[in-house]
Amino acid sequence: MIRLLLLAPYIGLLWVPFYNFEEPKLFGFPFFYWYQLAWVPLTSLITYFVYRSVRHES
């Protein structure tokens, strides 16, 4: 069940019109760029948690 978390980055980045905006800006970066960049560490964390949970199951 926790493996479904791996779909979150896919779904979060699938529909470009969902995040193709300029506002709100973060440190001068439009939302479009920092939203995608935010998924990089978030995806790493999700992968880490899924790996840890699957490793302990077996």
Q: Which domain range does residue 22 map to?
A: 2-55
- Mapping DSSP to helix (H, G, I), strand (E, B) and coil, where does residue 26 land? strand
Separation between Cα atoms, residue 25 and residue 43, nearest integer Å: 21
Count of structural domains, the chain: 1
Ordered mean pLDDT values, 10 residues apiece, the chain (58 residues):
88 90 91 95 95 78
Contact call for residues 57 and 20 (beta carbons, < 8 A): no
Contact call for residues 12 and 22 (beta carbons, < 8 A): no
Name the pTM for this structure.
0.77
